[in-house]
Amino acid sequence: MIFGHLPAGYIMSNILWETSDKKTSFYKTFLFWGMFGAIAPDTDLLYSLLIDHAYHHSYITHFPIFWISLLLIALLWLRIDKTRRNVAASCFIFTLNALVHLILDTVTGHILWLAPFSNQHFSLITERSEGAHYFTQWGFALELFLIFLALCVWLKSSGRDV
Ligand SMILES: [Zn+2]
Q: What is the DSSP string of 122-143?
A: B-S--HHHHTS-GGGSHHHHHH
CA of 27 to the centre of ligand 1 (A): 25
Task: Name the helix (H) or strand (E) containing 127.
Answer: helix 127-130
CA of 159 to the centre of ligand 1 (A): 32
Is residue 29 within 8 Å of 90, Cβ to Cβ? yes
Say whether 4 sits in a helix, a strand or coil. coil
CA of 68 to the centre of ligand 1 (A): 15
Rounded Cα distance between 16 and 32, Å, is 13
CA of 1 to the centre of ligand 1 (A): 7
CA of 36 to the centre of ligand 1 (A): 13
Residues 6+ apart with CB under 8 A from 74: 88, 91, 92, 94, 95, 96
pLDDT of the residue at 130: 59
One-letter amino acid identity for 62? H
Rounded Cα distance between 70 and 60, Å, is 12
- With the CA atoms of 156, 162, 82 and 96 taken in that order, what torsion angle do they form, in degrees rounded to the nearest 10? 40
Rounded to two decimals, the pTM is: 0.88
Q: Show me where the domains of the chain are located.
A: 5-157
CA of 91 to the centre of ligand 1 (A): 19
Mean pLDDT of the chain: 89
pLDDT tens digits, one per residue of 69-117: 999 999 999 999 988 889 999 999 999 999 999 999 998 888 999 999 9
CA of 102 to the centre of ligand 1 (A): 6
CA of 40 to the centre of ligand 1 (A): 8
Percent of the chain with pLDDT over 90: 62
CA of 147 to the centre of ligand 1 (A): 17
Rounded Cα distance between 63 and 151, Å, is 30
pLDDT tens digits, one per residue of 57-68: 989 999 999 999
